[in-house]
Structure 1
Amino acid sequence: MNPFELLLVEDDADVRDTTRLILERHGFAVRTAADGTEGYALASACPPALAVVDVSMPGMDGLTLTRRLREELSTPVVLLTARDLNVDVVAGLEAGADDYVVKPFDGAVLVARIRAVLRRAHPGSAEPVRLGDLLIDRDAMTIHRGEEEVQVSATEFRLLMLLLDHRPAVLSRTQILRHVWGDSSWGTGRVVDVNIQRLRAKLGTPAIVTVRGAGYKVVDR
């Protein structure tokens, strides 16, 4: 599993879309749900590294969803709440939330809170990764060859981390589309191929291998 894949559960479509874009710009892969029931189903089918959950939702509310995610799936949760009253904060924490952010929130604050929870929930996951002569820093989203930084886009960085986290397994184009772009119906395998080609050119390494008829994988070379 990509350690930076998040589940965003928010019933307000505008807030949901805006928050998803903020998180994706910071390198996260994001799946979204419009209510607690849908969010629970998505998390059960493919547990995320962390869930960002709105408190006030129709049907299964955020506190109930948080409790189920923590007790049944051990999923870390950051709550989004429109109120910062002590009683609401206490209720959220007692439900198992790891942290909370009050709306309207600053995107940088939300991202910082998420990364802090991820570091606690997945110790060691943010350690720099080596691939040949490249040093990859997850938190900073940087890649260095010696003192020189290799410039890649946020999408290319997510793509690289996905392949690294699954090595030496082969990932299909459909799997890559779902994890990197959030929806396997978003585009075609050509989108994956083009981004792989760009990433290879920027990294200057043969470590990303094409497996004909299957997909891509990373090997240590």
Structure 2
Amino acid sequence: MRNLLVADDDANIRELLRYVMTREGFGIYEAQDGLKAIELMKQTPIDLAIVDVMMPRMDGLELCDYIRQNYDIPIIMLTARDQLQDKEKGYLQGTDDYLTKPFEPEELVFRVKALFRRYNRTSSDLIRINRMTIDRRNIEISDGQTVFILPMKEFELLAQLAQYPGRLFSRDELIELVWGADYEGDDRTVDVHIKRLRERFADYTDDFTIRTVRGIGYKIEVGRQ
């Protein structure tokens, strides 16, 4: 199931999109402002964001800029104003598509599905964290000079965390994503693999750090270059 973020301060819009999108088989996560949306994205894997321009505390343009800096997902911007300058600002912030209120819910569904098709065709197998490049196709990691060849589970675990920097994953989530839903071993195997990754990349803490959230799981924090 693909998860959609709906960030809009209008509860009626959120309710409408929840009904329409869950009927289409999507998971829906809602936020009434940009700050709540960021908090939610750090906790839950989001595959596409639907963002209203006018929101309290943090508006849609600021949220779009944050998403573009931290996640590689499609963004659809919603606005009640049909003005060229608003669309220009949205596209400059990295918006993939734009829809003016009021809109037909079915049109938004079409646009969401079209963006997923487009991203599926053009998405890169490369994940970059400062100097580090994770190449999922060739199953290798490089800093531009040294190439690291890791055991498959270590590689998949690091790639999963690196794809969503700042997002917290529980041990159970990582087990299902990396080892598979039918895995019957000890969930502490995640801890063992994390320890090995930390040892391998002990000299690269300026690029990224794997943080432990006690009693929950792990996340990657990206260093500033």
- TM-score range normalised by the length of the shorter chain: 0.5 to 0.7
Shift of 1:124: 8.7
Secondary structure in structure 2 of the residue aligned to 1:84: coil
Residue identity in the other structure for 2:181? V
Partner of 1:118: 116
Q: Structure 2: how far apart are the matches of 1:61 and 1:104?
A: 19
Partner of 2:83: 85
Q: Which residue of 2 aligns with 1:169?
A: 180
- Equivalent pair of 1:44/1:73 in contact (CA under 8 Å): no
How far residue 167 of structure 1 moved from its aligned partner, in angstroms, is 9.0
2:55 to 33, 54, 57: 57
Question: How far apart are the structure 2 equivalents of 1:75 and 1:41?
Answer: 16
Task: Give yes or no for contact 1:7–1:51 (8 Å, CA) kept in 2.
Answer: yes
TM-score scaled by length of structure 1: 0.55
CA contact (8 A) 2:3 2:45 kept: no
Runs of 5+ in structure 2 lacking a partner? 124-175, 183-225
Q: Secondary structure at the match of 1:53?
A: strand
Q: Which residue of 2 aligns with 1:201?
A: none
Runs of 4+ with deviation above 2 angstroms: 44-47, 122-125, 165-168
Q: Cα gap change, 1:57/1:24 in structure 2, threshold over 3 Å: closer, same or farther?
A: same
Q: Which residue of 1 aligns with 2:44?
A: 46
Q: Are the structure 2 counterparts of residues 167 and 21 from structure 1 closer, same or farther at C-alpha, using a change threshold of 3 Å?
A: farther
Aligned twin of 1:70: 68
| Normalised TM-score (structure 2) | 0.54
Shift of 1:45: 2.3
Report SS of the residue matched to 1:20: helix
User: How many residues are aligned here?
Assistant: 130
1:101 aligns with 2:108: no
Identity %: 38
Given that residues 47 and 73 in structure 1 are in contact (C-alpha distance below 8 angstroms), is that contact kept between their aligned partners in structure 2?
no
What is the RMSD computed on CA atoms of the aligned residues?
2.2
